[in-house]
A and B are shown apart, each in its own frame.
Chain A
Amino acid sequence: MRWGMVINLVKCTRCHACIAACRIEHFLPLGMTWPRLIAWETNVPGEELTTLPVRCNQCKEAPCVEVCPAEATKKRPDGIVYVDNNICVGCRYCVVACPYQNRTFLSRDKDPGFFPGYQRTRFEKAGRKLYPHIAGTTEKCNFCMERIDAGMAKGLIPGKDREATPACVNTCQARALTFGDLDDPASEVSQLIKERNGFQLHPEYGTEPSVYYIDGKIGNAPSNTAPREAQTAAHMQHLSTMEARARQIFGKK
């Protein structure tokens, strides 16, 4: 079993909901962001503004695991790479060594509270009890492993049952994120990767990321880039489906 994620670049509407959901789920301090949404545009006429949701790739051959001098960064049998903040010495070698730059060192100045200079809110205090963030250590996305573990203990299936699925995947209103078992050829993620030629970021590093991208082209990555018209059509169809769903939910015409 190896958990992985597939991100549909056409469906992503750059709404930032995944980032907000992660912040709420893990009570992230202000200076800390686990998933990110990067955007860029070029001077080439006709080129659209492009976005790319990124998060820890949970690499199969993770450089951060290899370089950690305290073995604080660990890889679970299900492929999730996580940081044990009670062991981390805060040397930041992993932060520098991650070729995708998906780790953040939590210094004290990155954790001033939601209202710097004032007491922490009750929400923050409750959050710190549920999810303590230790200043002086490194943090990163962990595919919501607590949700996965708790869900699986109840017999739920991550990627199918919301309670066992990462918060960002649950919250994505465009259904651009898909989660599942990469080792299972019948899983939705494996099917998507196979059928739509999913690709990873910088495969030449040999890190074997568990996050794949489909239906888009990033730089000169070996993607399945559909023609622009097809991408636009797919996006429009998706938006109309969402509109229909919204009408269904809110009962408006």
Chain B
Amino acid sequence: MPSMATRQWMVTHEWMVKPMHQKEWIERRGVMIWIAETFTSLGAGLYLVSLFMNSWWGMLVGWLIIMFLKLPIHLAYFGKPWRFYRTMPPFSNAWKTSWFARGILFSVFFGTFAFIQLVIGQPDLANLIGHSVANPIYYTFGVLGGIFALGVGIYGGFIMNYIKGIPFWNQGLLPVVFILAGVADGFGLAMGIGLAGGDANVALAETGSRYLLMINVLLIITYLISAGYTSSVAKLSIQELLKGPSAFMFWVGLIILGLAIPAVVSVVSVFSGGEASSILLIIAIASHTMGAFALKYCLLKVGIYRPLLPKVAAY
């Protein structure tokens, strides 16, 4: 390589010359985005599942996760957290174009409506004011809370899917992955609520979890295959997931903990003719929740930008 040797005096800057990872949302303080996004899935998913099962305790835990874990961590990530009000009307009309602004609005509306629903639905209060009065209010705000919980659970997918420079994220399926993963997480946590003595139906949650697991496996496979067809940079992201630096998190965190162990427990419960033992269920819930963290980590970590120079870097 004589020609290269003669050029040793010049240091090549590889910034955006070769595919470059996004770092803002996963490294250093960006870790907060990863954690907040995972709590978004867990909280919104649990609320939706609990709404479906009419589990007051499940909805309460879901609401608490969103309001006291997701939102504060998200705000703490901001460079100027005390200016958060500027993302909402009347200070800003950015919700018309920005999924981030919409997400904040969804969270605020969800927090308000779900709070009213939870207060009205509290058994003692419902008895006090009478069920004929409490029930219509409870169901109305339940529907509103559910709609906005759906928004909270899905907006992260739209935020990432909008980014044109990162082909692995720029996929129409991403919001679907976000919401279905969230619902699966919700079923897992609902089992936990039921086991802890709450009002969630463990058998129903287990059945739901079983179907969602199968759907999510198919969805992840479909996502990876379809993303691989879109561009060579997306293919690079997939390679990183399958056999690169993020492979451990993908195979151990997402596939084994998030999907395989809950699936095995689910199969055991089917063949045992009822529910699996509590210990097995607790293991399944814990590994499922770790899988939720792994999924968001993998997605954020393998976000790779298409370079500015397509041919030079062969991308």
Contact = CB atoms under 8 A, between A and B. Distances in A.
B277 interface: no
Given A43-B1, A49-B10, A101-B305, A107 B79 contact: yes
B310 A90 contact: no
Given A69-B94, A90-B79, A135-B79, A101 B100 contact: no
B97 interface: yes
Given A39-B12, A41-B12, A68-B98, A96 B163 contact: yes
B98 A99 contact: no
A89 interface: yes
Interface string B9-25: 01011111100101011
A93 to B, nearest CB: 5
B166 to A, nearest CB: 8
A63 B20 CA distance: 19
Interface string B95-108: 00111110010000
Nearest to B160: A96
Given A67-B97, A95-B24, A38 B311 contact: no
Contact of A90 (B16, B17, B78, B100): B78
A43 B17 contact: no
A136 B80 contact: yes
A43 B2 CA distance: 10
A46 B4 CA distance: 10
Interface string A75-98: 000000000000111111101111
A52 to B, nearest CB: 7
A104 to B, nearest CB: 10
Contacts of B14: 40
A41 B10 contact: yes
A38 to B, nearest CB: 5
A83 to B, nearest CB: 12
Q: Is the interface of B mostly helix, strand, loop or mixed?
A: loop
Interface string A19-55: 0000000000000000011111111011001101010
Interface stretch (B81-89, B184-192, B199-207, B217-225): B81-89
A152 to B, nearest CB: 29
B306 interface: yes
Contacts of B312: 40, 42, 50, 218-219
Nearest to B95: A69
B86 A70 contact: yes
Contact of A71 (B24, B25, B94): B94
B272 interface: no
A69 B92 contact: yes
A67 B100 contact: yes
Contact of B25 (A37, A70, A96, A100): A96
Contacts of A69: 87, 92, 94, 98, 100-101, 104
A98 B165 contact: yes
A58 interface: no
Contacts of B309: 40, 52, 218-219
B3 interface: yes
Contact of B99 (A67, A92, A218, A219): A67
A220 interface: yes
Interface of A: 36-43, 45-46, 49-50, 52, 54, 63, 65-72, 87-93, 95-101, 105-107, 135-138, 201-202, 205, 207, 218-221
Interface of B: 1, 3-4, 7, 10, 12-17, 20, 22, 24-25, 29, 77-81, 83-84, 86-87, 91-94, 97-101, 104, 159, 162-166, 303, 305-306, 308-313
| 6 closest cross-chain pairs (CB), A and B | A90-B79, A136-B79, A99-B165, A219-B311, A69-B101, A219-B310
